[in-house]
């Protein structure tokens, strides 16, 4: 029996058991569609996180103040007041360093503009911040060297902060707002970076580090120094330079551990992509389980089908069907169900990837990788699920099969 004949036979059989065929196919459709959709969502998550990290700055190396240890209790990283503006300036003189932005953070700053107010975090920094952290200004200008030198009370706002104040970037330029009651003049608004989560780069206030130092904390300690490199391949060299420099400046004994830490954007990306890859694999794994369950459904239906058709199998053997003819008949039936399910499942998967991504807040689109993976996994599942029942059918003893009631 040719494959064409087996196909005709299988289609006829599937038509006569339409409901059963539909239900069996549904298992495959769900498996394939979720595989396509979840792969798309997984990839979308990865892309979103990668973009967000890339948006934080270019060739970035963050030097963080170390943890303070008071009475044997180790505080959080950055809690020690070890990094100073002078440290930042010294780092700026090292080889391979393009720009350095000392960052002095003040959290929970109440921003008041007329009758509107909001609470956000403030960073006291220098003009280099724009380069190091990859900020663009959409209206007005960023901080200037003069602002820092004179310690002027000027501020650059993030777009989210502007929105929180119920105003627009154009309207707020030149306005005087108060930060914890201290008046500042708004000179610029940054471009949105599209971030989300607990550290939103769009909900922030930048002010000259000198102004922040004198008006807010006054201690002169930095939480972070942002360093951008001239050449990203020199990362390790620059890191070792900074380590030696800071250890010397902080007069650490050889046995003492660093009172600061460094993380590069590359390391951050690696950590993030490892995490997102785990998430993606987890999603794909769930979808694969759905597909396997679909395959078990097929195997089950095929076994029932073989059981129901024992006499037919016996008859077919009596009229000249060989083992391989019987195997082919049942295998083709299983493969048709999976193929049909795979095609419909891929279409549905493509259709739902976007909406599924939207519900979890990730821009997702179907990937060729996901579609190919889903389609061929389904095909393999179908062949495996159909193979065993088909073999059972082909091995039936014709005499027994003909006698079967």
Chain residues that interact with other proteins, rule: CB under 8 A? 1-2, 5, 9, 12-13, 16, 311-312, 314-323, 325, 398-399, 402
- Minimal distance, residue 312 CB to other proteins, in Å: 5
Question: Closer to other proteins at the Cβ: 16 or 233?
Answer: 16
Question: Closer to other proteins at the Cβ: 63 or 332?
Answer: 332
- Minimal distance, residue 397 CB to other proteins, in Å: 8
SS (H, E, C) the chain: CCHHHHHHHHHHHHHHCHHHHHHHHHHHHHHHHHHHHHHHHHHHHHHHHHHHHHHCCCCEEEEEECCCEECCEECCCCCCCCEEHHHHHHHHCCCCEEEEEEEEEEEEEEEEECCEEEEEEEEEECCHHHHHCCCCEEEECCCCHHHHHHCCCEEEECHHHHHHCCCCHHHHCCCEEEECCEEEEEEEEECCCCCCCCCCCCCEEEEEHHHHHHHHHCCCEECEEEEEECCHHHHHHHHHHHHHHHHHHCCCCCCCCCCEEEEEHHHHHHHHHHHHHHHHHHHHHHHHHHHHHHHHHHHHHHHHHHHHCHHHHHHHHHCCCCHHHHHHHHHHHHHHHHHHHHHHHHHHHHHHHHHHHHHCCCCCCCCHHHHHHHHHHHHHHHHHHHHHHHHHHHCCCHHHHHHCC
Question: Closer to other proteins at the Cβ: 74 or 395?
Answer: 395
| Residue position matching structure tokens 């009631």 | 405
CB-neighbour burial class of residue 248 (10 A; exposed 0-12, middle 13-18, buried 19+): exposed
Question: Closer to other proteins at the Cβ: 289 or 399?
Answer: 399
- Minimal distance, residue 27 CB to other proteins, in Å: 23
Question: Closer to other proteins at the Cβ: 210 or 394?
Answer: 394
Question: Closer to other proteins at the Cβ: 5 or 149?
Answer: 5
- Minimal distance, residue 40 CB to other proteins, in Å: 40
- Minimal distance, residue 48 CB to other proteins, in Å: 52
For residues 404 and 389, give the distance between their C-alpha atoms in angstroms, rounded to a whole number. Answer: 17
- Two tokens, residue 252: 């650490």
- Minimal distance, residue 326 CB to other proteins, in Å: 10
- Minimal distance, residue 272 CB to other proteins, in Å: 57
Question: Closer to other proteins at the Cβ: 17 or 367?
Answer: 17
Q: Are 287 and 34 in contact (CB under 8 A)?
A: yes
Question: Closer to other proteins at the Cβ: 2 or 233?
Answer: 2
Question: Closer to other proteins at the Cβ: 85 or 396?
Answer: 396
Measured in whole angstroms, the distance separating CA 59 from the mean position of its chain's CA atoms is 20
- Minimal distance, residue 325 CB to other proteins, in Å: 6
- Minimal distance, residue 304 CB to other proteins, in Å: 16
- Minimal distance, residue 357 CB to other proteins, in Å: 44
Number of C-alpha atoms within 13 angstroms, CB side, residue 52?
21
Other CB atoms within a 10 A radius of the CB of residue 7 amount to: 16
Question: Closer to other proteins at the Cβ: 13 or 153?
Answer: 13
């Amino acid at each position: 029996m040719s494959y064409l004949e087996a196909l005709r036979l299988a289609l006829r059989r599937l038509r006569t058991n339409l409901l059963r065929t539909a239900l069996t196919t549904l298992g495959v459709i769900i498996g394939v569609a979720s595989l396509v959709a979840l792969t798309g969502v997984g990839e979308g998550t990865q892309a979103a996180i990668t973009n967000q990290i890339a948006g934080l700055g270019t060739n970035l190396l963050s030097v963080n103040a170390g943890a303070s240890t008071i009475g044997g209790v180790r505080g959080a990283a950055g809690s020690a007041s070890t990094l100073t503006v002078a440290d930042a300036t010294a780092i700026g003189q090292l080889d391979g360093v393009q720009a350095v932005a000392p960052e002095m953070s003040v959290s929970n700053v109440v921003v008041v503009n007329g009758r509107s107010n909001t609470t956000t975090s403030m960073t006291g920094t220098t003009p280099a911040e724009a380069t190091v952290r990859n900020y663009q200004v959409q209206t007005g200008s960023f901080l200037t060297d003069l602002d820092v030198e004179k310690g002027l009370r000027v501020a650059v706002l993030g777009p989210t902060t502007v929105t929180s104040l119920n105003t627009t970037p154009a309207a707020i330029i030149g306005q005087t707002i108060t930060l914890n009651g201290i008046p500042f003049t708004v000179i610029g608004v940054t471009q949105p970076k599209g971030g989300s989560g607990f550290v939103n780069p769009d909900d922030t206030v930048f002010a000259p580090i000198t102004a922040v130092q004198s008006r807010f904390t006054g201690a002169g300690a930095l939480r972070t120094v942002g360093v951008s490199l001239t050449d990203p391949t020199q990362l390790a060299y620059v890191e070792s330079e900074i380590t030696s420099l800071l250890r010397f400046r902080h007069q650490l004994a050889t046995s003492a551990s660093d009172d600061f830490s460094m993380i590069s954007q590359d390391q951050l990306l690696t950590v993030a992509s490892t995490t997102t890859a785990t998430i993606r694999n987890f999603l794909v794994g769930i979808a694969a389980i759905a597909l396997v369950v679909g395959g078990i459904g097929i195997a089950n239906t095929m076994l029932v089908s073989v059981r129901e058709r024992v006499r037919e199998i016996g008859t077919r053997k009596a009229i000249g069907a060989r083992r391989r003819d019987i195997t082919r008949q049942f295998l083709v039936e299983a493969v048709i169900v999976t193929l049909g399910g795979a095609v419909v499942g891929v279409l549905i998967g493509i259709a739902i990837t976007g909406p599924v991504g939207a519900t979890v807040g990730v821009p997702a689109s179907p990937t060729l990788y996901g579609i190919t993976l889903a389609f061929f996994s389904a095909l393999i599942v179908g062949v495996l699920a159909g193979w065993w029942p088909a073999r059972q059918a082909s091995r039936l003893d014709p005499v027994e099969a003909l006698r079967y009631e």
